[in-house]
Amino acid sequence: MEEILNQYETVHPNDAKIWFKAGKISDFPTNRGGCIKYKNKQIAIFNFTRRNEWYACQNACPHKMEMVLARGMTGSADDIPKIACPMHKKTFSLVDGSNLNGEDYKIATYPIKVVEDEVFVGFLD
């Protein structure tokens, strides 16, 4: 199972070497998640319309390694945008991937940018 997690590592916006076109804005649901496939990775993408902000993170919940974060509910905690896993309601910051329930596992986050009506996710390779 660790192999699943090893694939995902946070990419900082300045480090991104490849900007992968994930789809058009209209392909993604608003205020909840959509999952995209990039090589062998599954990435969850969230469009927070009220903030006019987009976030991307690994789709695997590190608690039980299921590919489900895109199906969770979005929200905020102390104004930090977050995602709650649909399995056991573990919540993670979409800004730095940290667990907001005080547990230890965290998720990898990816930079995301919207150019005109297209959505791009940044990867190292």
**60: Cβ contacts below 8 Å, ≥ 6 apart:** 4, 5, 8, 42, 66, 67, 68, 69, 107
Answer yes or no whether residue 68 interacts with other proteins by CB under 8 A: yes
- CB-based contact 9:111 (threshold 8 Å): no
Only one of the segments 8-16, 72-80, 107-115 lies at the binding site for other proteins (rule: CB under 8 A); that segment is 72-80
Helix (H) / strand (E) element for 5: namely helix 2-6
- Min dist CB 63 to other proteins, Å, is 9
Answer yes or no whether residue 7 interacts with other proteins by CB under 8 A: no
Residues that bind other proteins (CB under 8 A): 1, 4, 22-23, 27-32, 34-37, 42, 45, 48, 50-51, 60, 64-68, 71-79, 81-82, 84, 86-87, 89, 91, 104-105
